[in-house]
Structure 1
Amino acid sequence: MTAALDRWLDDFGATLDPIYSRARHVKGPRKEKSTPTAPKSRATGPATRESRRATLERIARKSPEVMVKITGGGRNMRQIKAHMDYISRNGEIDVEDEQGLIYQGKKDVRHVRDAWRDGGHTIPYEGEDGPREAFNIMLSMPAGTDKRAIKDAARAFASEHFDGYQYAFAGHDDKDHFHIHLTVKAVGLDGQRLNPRKGDLHRWRVTFAEQLRERGVDANASPRKARGVVRKAERQALRAITERNGKSKVLRKHRAEAIQEARGRGEHLNPAQDRISAVRVLTLKGYGEVAKILSKGDAADRELALQIVGLVKTFQQLNTAHQSRVKAIRDILSTTQQSRVEAIRETLSSRGHIDGSRNEGRA
């Protein structure tokens, strides 16, 4: 591997994945909060050069991407119990805790709830103004992935990142893919409160992917921009509001910005647009540079260079959610304006102001 390629791999994170490749650790906790979650082993420091290349190879061959996200969390025991009932399907699905104990049936699930209640940190039974007392996390892979491997990887993931915390998890197979629901008590046995941030979420994905690979499953945890994906998945909360025909402040703000731009009154109301475009330019430039370097290497390097070129060719045209909203509104405005013009023309024509004037001219 050439020195030039080494340098590019060192900058791989700066272009595509700063949290993973660089020693850009999660910032320290605020004074009023205790230490946030921190990876305990493989995910602690900057990635090694070998692991960065392996990540690049998985991106190039389009390995399945893991999904790890926080879906919510209870602020009181009533909400926590409701979520435990949900993940256990009211006792119909086995639930496993941090000690590896299996709970079956409604009565057993109640024992898990009681263990949380008596676990050294008092959780209010009701009330929603306090801090989050539990974090609900979902872990999944695309359809067709071995279910046992997913569950075993999730168990190892939870043990690695939530040692000293009470948690429970269960597997659901009611959608098009098997997934794990993991709920973690926010305050550990030592009184430390979880405070997960963006860097933690990324490292959780990395760990879950590593655990899957150790079980023979091809899995990757790369950033969307490295794969040419622009749009984030819609947040579950926003989707729920939309399904209830409600309104979200975020959605209203985005729509207002799009309307302003569509009418030509605010081209820079969405600064994220410029950032996304700049990142795409850097991504394409970076892939071009590494492909050029690899093309001068051995057979394996040249093969990887061809895969990278093929990957870039699959990148879809840059089209952000903001751009789509602006285009949709412009189409509506254009259609409305055209309809008005046609209505006016029809009115004038019916009154003889168009065809009649033409006939008079000809006469």
Structure 2
Amino acid sequence: MKLKFDSFIMALLIAIGLAYFFPQAVLFQDGQFLEAITTVGVSLIFFFYGLKLSITDIKYGLKNWKLHVVVQLATFTLFPLLVLALKPFITDVVQENFWLSFFFLAALPSTVSSSVVMVSIAKGNVPAAIFNASISGLIGVIVTPLWMSLFLDFHTENVFDDVYWGLIREIIIPVILGLLLQRYWVGWASKYSRQLAQFDKTVILLIVYSSFADSFSSGVFRTISRSYLIYVFVAVIVLFLLIYGILYVLTKYVLKFSIRDQVTALFCGSKKSLTHGSVFGKFLFFNNPSAGLYFLPLMIYHAFQIFLVTVIAQRYHRRKEAD
């Protein structure tokens, strides 16, 4: 099996470049036009997700509760606590933004499609991966804002309620509508799954462009140095390897999972969702000039996890074929 170039990563870089050279689009009609497009786009993403969600696979995956507990605790507890442990060492505003961007990454849910694909390649427990990836996004709607509320000012003008209502309106309600209409449109969603995936990516690119255009316009990136970017890259790699290493030891030597369950725990528990991160960031960092900074580790983590987990998945696949 050969490694495939991920064109979406290049598209993310192009979106950031466009935001740097042409940030004017985000100012059109005071940003309301782009905001309306992304709002409708996000709602459609999760409506289509509801259409494609397999209730049968989720019910089947419920049986392996130990695996689910490990994945969800890794996603929403281990990740944030590892980053939280560094909070006492923050001494200035630049370090605060750096740390908060990683805490945002740590508080996010796991990916859906890529986790399931990688687990499938590695011959892992696919139904359990579908369950964990699906439930993770729904749990994140509640847990991620709670974690972030510890360090963002959500306590004025009902901002906290606005964040939750926004996430419910653009994620939960569309998913429910998709599930209700699944019996009528599931064939259509399956037939055009590739086009729907491209639509998802386009909406994410618009959100990324909007966030970075705001940050470039406000001049927030002028306050950081090249060494800042190097630190972000290094910290992303260290965080991934630390999480992956802990899960590897826990699932193999402590809990003694089977290879199939171990693969599922490693891949689902170590990943973070750029889709959910983009959507959550819309509400958590609304009108925040540092939004681009907060998205930076997430995008680098997204690229790194795809590259490294693809390599690892192929190794598991070859080992399984040899056995």
Q: What range describes the TM-score normalised by the shorter chain of this pair?
A: under 0.3
TM-score by length of 1: 0.23
Q: Which structure has more RCO (C-alpha within 8 Å, separation ≥ 6)?
A: 2
Where is the strand percentage greater, Structure 1 or Structure 2? 1
Which has the larger Rg?
Answer: 1
